[in-house]
């Protein structure tokens, strides 16, 4: 059953990448994060640095490359994601195609890690979307993790945001 679930999620990830034209973070060392460029469709969001993301603004949704992360030691995840977001900040600062980008967001179970990386944590506004992500992401977690004895805890997903300027500023400090 475990292998069947893994195959299913690998297939779904591959289809999503092709259909939505996700791309890796430019100059990434690990290729463990995809970017999905899109127009913001929700209500306006005001971030802590004062950036306001309005409906129609260009944003990038972050997706984890589950296939790449599958065999990664949990202790290395923070460092890998930190390197990915540093590469992303450098790309935002130097590449014309990201000049109009207002912010980066994700909907994830990994929000504690994202918070340590400088992202703000917000509740997911849509209850239906929150439930879908909760079960989808937890199924992915089960499919790509080693089978464990005992009870699996279903973590609640959150939405994480960082403005373009905040990520560039964070990256420039990391040099």
For residues 3-7, give the mean pLDDT.
Answer: 73
Instruction: Give the confidence band of 128 by pLDDT, cuts at 50, 70, 90.
Output: confident
Please give the backbone phi and psi of residue 105, each rounded to the nearest 5 degrees, phi first.
Answer: -140, 165
Contacts of 41 (CB under 8 A, 6+ apart): 55
Enter the DSSP assignment of 100: T
Contact present, 62 and 35 (Cβ < 8 Å)? yes
For residues 15-30, give the mean pLDDT.
Answer: 86
> Which is higher by pLDDT, 23 or 73?
23
Global pTM reads 0.82
Average pLDDT of the chain to the nearest whole number: 86
Q: What's the Rg (C-alpha) of the chain? A: 16
Q: Is residue 142 exposed (0-12), middle (13-18) or buried (19+ Cβ within 10 Å)?
A: middle
- 144: pLDDT strictly greater than 70: no
Sketch the domain layout of the chain as residue ranges.
Answer: 2-173
> What secondary structure does DSSP assign to 53-98, as a single string?
E-TT-EEEEEEE-HHHHTT--HHHHHHHHHHHHHHHHHHHHH-GGG
pLDDT tens readout for residues 52-64? 999 999 999 999 8
């Amino acid at each position: 059953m475990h292998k069947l679930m893994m195959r299913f999620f690998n297939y779904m990830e591959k289809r999503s990448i092709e259909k939505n034209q996700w791309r890796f973070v430019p100059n990434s060392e690990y290729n463990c994060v995809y970017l999905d460029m899109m127009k913001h469709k929700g209500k306006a969001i005001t971030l802590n640095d004062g950036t306001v993301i309005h409906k129609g603004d260009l944003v990038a949704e972050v997706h984890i490359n589950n296939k790449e992360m599958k065999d990664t030691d949990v202790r290395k995840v923070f460092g890998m994601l930190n390197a990915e977001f540093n590469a992303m900040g450098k790309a935002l600062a130097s590449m014309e195609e990201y000049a109009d980008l207002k912010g980066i967001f994700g909907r994830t179970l990994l929000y504690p890690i994202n918070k340590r990386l400088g992202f703000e944590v917000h509740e997911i506004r849509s209850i239906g979307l929150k439930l879908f992500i909760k079960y989808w992401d937890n199924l992915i977690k089960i499919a790509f993790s080693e089978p464990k004895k005992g009870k699996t805890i279903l973590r609640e997903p959150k939405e994480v945001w960082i403005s373009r300027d905040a990520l560039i500023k964070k990256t420039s400090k990391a040099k």
